Amino acid sequence: MASTQTESTGNATAWHGANAMRVRIVGAGVAGLTCAHAFAERGAQVTVIDRKSGSGQGCSWYAGGMLAPWCERESAEPIIAELGHESLAYWREAVPDVPNEGSLVLAPPRDVPDLRRFARRTDGFQWVDGSRIGELEPDLDGRFDQGLFFPTEAHLEPRKALAALTRRLVQEYRVAFRFEADGLDEEQRQPEGADGADLVVDCRGLAARDTLADLRGVKGEMLVLYSTEVSLKRPVRMLHPRIPVYIVPRGDGHFMIGATSIENDERGRVTGRSMLELLGAAYALHPAFGEAEIVEIGADVRPAFPDNLPRLRKRGGTLYINGLYRHGFLAAPALARRAAEVAFDGAYFPEVMDEDHRQW
């Protein structure tokens, strides 16, 4: 039986337990793991539960890992940049190997007006000419006349970062991980279900649509190429009239090319048209990608609310972190910190919480 150790303070509820708060986190994607970190840092006793192979089954597995709050301002609300700056600082401290090389935005000569439009909608960049592009990325020397350089952005390798964070959670914070073949059903997700918990945090991504009815899926397709003929230090976005494509160096000759953004929830199905677009952009960046080996093709579905902004929501004894859309790595750590403050201190964050929070 779960022990309730919360106390109402006006409209909010704050934690006043003498014992550690027992938190069960359902879902080991980027939302679940960063949330486990935020709660464990506050002294909670955390268990993370996922399906059998954990993060390998979620959207986080397919992410590019760009930590690009300035670039995202081009199409996202200011709150995403705000969460992104906080998360960027988090990743630099939380996991090893976060290259601080910035990012580069380029366009073929015929699409330079797109570059100017991109520049008008964002900030934190320097205009760079062909020779500066060549200094930053010697393999692109002479290929582009103009670009935008965002020096304070970064990137990470999502699969390695999630593995490193999991190790840290186990070794440093004694977080327990459980993998159930089919995941947890609704009954087991209740606080009194499974081993009992004071709070359940639901980080199931799109699977939480069974409870969060306004959640929708936005498919993203990606591929990984291997080439020893080209090297890049930082992510490069290629502006394109239909889909902006990015190429993220993963080290050892590997490059992640992403990503489409398609309004459907067909998990795993990759179309020829999408591959043509992604490969075309890689080839336009450097013809050596035409000879590259295709190592992986993948797709998953981003969980998104109608306004594409993330939310913390509470229903009964469960706190939901969801709607991370294209910004899982960019926004999850900042959202996780807020979630812990909601649970421990009764905090309210209007930028990510619904107005009906007082009914919690």
- Asked if residues 183 and 51 have their Cβ atoms less than 8 Å apart, the reply is yes
Q: β-strand 45-51 against 176-180: which pairing, if any?
A: parallel
State which residue, 140 or 222, has the beta carbon closest to ligand FAD.
Answer: 222
Q: How far is the CB of 258 from ligand FAD (least distance, A)?
A: 5
Asked whether position 28 contacts ligand FAD by CB under 6 A, the answer is: yes
Judged by CB under 6 A, the stretch of 13-21, 29-37, 90-98, 127-135 that binds ligand FAD is 29-37
Asked whether position 303 contacts ligand FAD by CB under 6 A, the answer is: yes
- Asked if residues 87 and 38 have their Cβ atoms less than 8 Å apart, the reply is no
- Asked if residues 221 and 236 have their Cβ atoms less than 8 Å apart, the reply is no
State which residue, 124 or 328, has the beta carbon closest to ligand FAD.
Answer: 328
Identify the three-state secondary structure at position 111.
Answer: helix
310: burial class by Cβ within 10 Å (0-12, 13-18, 19+)? buried
Give residues 183-202 in contact with ligand FAD (rule: CB under 6 A).
Answer: 183-184
Strands (E), 124-191: 126-129, 146-150, 154-155, 176-180
Given candidates 51, 216, 311, 313, which one binds ligand FAD under the rule CB under 6 A?
A: 51
Binding residues for ligand FAD, total number by CB under 6 A = 42
Q: How far is the CB of 158 from ligand FAD (least distance, A)?
A: 7
Asked whether position 58 contacts ligand FAD by CB under 6 A, the answer is: yes
Judged by CB under 6 A, the stretch of 28-36, 129-137, 191-199, 274-282 that binds ligand FAD is 28-36
State which residue, 207 or 230, has the beta carbon closest to ligand FAD.
Answer: 207
Which of 193, 148, 200, 145 is CA-nearest to residue 21? 200
Given candidates 168, 302, 314, 337, which one binds ligand FAD under the rule CB under 6 A?
A: 302
CA distance 76 to 85: 14
Given candidates 38, 44, 59, 165, which one binds ligand FAD under the rule CB under 6 A?
A: 59
CA distance 201 to 318: 6
Q: How far is the CB of 161 from ligand FAD (least distance, A)?
A: 11
State which residue, 284 or 321, has the beta carbon closest to ligand FAD.
Answer: 321
CA distance 13 to 358: 9
Asked whether position 26 contacts ligand FAD by CB under 6 A, the answer is: yes
